[in-house]
Chains A and B, each alone.
Chain A
Amino acid sequence: MNYITLEEYYRRQFSFGQHHKYSITDLEQMLPFELDILNDMLIDWLEEQEKKRNTL
């Protein structure tokens, strides 16, 4: 697929597992577009938290 490399794949799995406590098995059973949506939502949430922290 054009949109992701194997390295990016493992980095993403590691981040979800290590930092956000997702199970690798659960992640692997998702459909790729579901994981993309989850990834985008997580980034949005992290940016929101960052903004909140900066305004305090």
Chain B
Amino acid sequence: MPLPKIQYPIIKITIPSTKKEHSFRPFQVKEEKILLMAKESATDRDIMIAVKQIINNCNLDDLDVEKLATFDLEYIFIKLRVASVGNEVNIAYVDDEDQQRVSFTIDLNKIEVKWPDGERRNIIKITDTTGMVLNYPAASVYNDDKLFESADDFLFQLIIRCVESVYDEDAVYNSKDYTRKELEDFVEQLDVKTFNKVTEFLTDMPTLYYKIEYKNTKGTERTIELRTLNDFFTFR
């Protein structure tokens, strides 16, 4: 039996968080349907699970989609969308000053991932000799029912899932070797200043970025910053 023939163009995409290049094919009409179905279900989580499924289907090498950062997923999806549907998206906003509807055409090729200013703050020092290393939330969080059930506790639960390791002068303690309860107890004992640094790391994550500048009918210069997939595609 002959080997199967590759029917689609291969796209090379550099993953923003790892800077490694991976191969993908464009998504097909049947995969677009997955997204349209998720869109009907109307939760951001369902849409991101669909996006993850599409990226997984379209990946042609050994990329572990579950380990990607959430902003990686969004970036890869934008690139796949360009190859599969086209690079232009029309969006419209109502200006809150003059109440006029303004339309824009966005070139998806110009979207980049914007990293927070300054040095990487994923190493959080607790004392001179103790600290913790954090990861950005991985794509696997979207499948984590317990996380999404923890409404008031969401940020705390997310932090626990982002701890990669804890260190002191003697050793490095990998979070994989500890139970969720042990990690919860550890994070609970952090002082406020350290906890704020951890929170800042998560709230100041890299994002997709595209800036629209226009002048409204009252002559005011306006700027719109688009930062999530929802901003570009108005899924809901």
Which residues of A line the B interface, CB within 8 A? Answer: 1-6, 9, 27-33, 35-36
Contact call A32/B27, Cβ cutoff below 8 A: yes
Question: A32: which B residues are within 8 A, CB to CB?
Answer: 27-29, 32, 84-85
Contact call B8/A31, Cβ cutoff below 8 A: yes
Contact call A6/B40, Cβ cutoff below 8 A: yes
**By the criterion of a CB under 8 Å from any partner CB, how many residues of chain B are at the interface?**
24
Residue from A2, A3, A5, A30 within 8 A of B29 (CB atoms): A30
Q: A1-B233, A28-B30, A35-B29 are in contact. Are A6 and B84 (CB under 8 A)?
A: no
Q: A28-B28, A28-B29 are in contact. Are A33 and B84 (CB under 8 A)?
A: yes
Q: Which residue of A lies closest to B30 (CB)?
A: A28
Question: A33: which B residues are within 8 A, CB to CB?
Answer: 84-86
Question: B84: which A residues are within 8 A, CB to CB?
Answer: 31-33
Chain A interface mostly helix, strand, loop or mixed?
helix
Q: State the CA gap A2–B89 with chains docked (Å).
A: 8
Q: Which residue of A lies closest to B234 (CB)?
A: A2
Question: A3: which B residues are within 8 A, CB to CB?
Answer: 85
Q: State the CA gap A6–B38 with chains docked (Å).
A: 10
Q: Known pairs A1-B85, A2-B233. 20 more at Cβ < 8 A?
A: A1-B35, A1-B39, A2-B89, A2-B91, A4-B36, A5-B36, A9-B33, A9-B36, A28-B28, A28-B29, A28-B30, A28-B33, A29-B30, A30-B28, A31-B26, A31-B27, A32-B27, A32-B28, A32-B29, A33-B86
Q: State the CA gap A34–B36 with chains docked (Å).
A: 18
Q: State the CA gap A17–B85 with chains docked (Å).
A: 21
Q: Which residue of A lies closest to B35 (CB)?
A: A1
17 pairs from A and B in contact (CB 8 Å cutoff): A1-B81, A2-B89, A2-B234, A4-B32, A5-B36, A6-B37, A6-B39, A9-B33, A28-B29, A28-B30, A29-B7, A29-B30, A31-B8, A31-B84, A32-B27, A32-B32, A36-B85
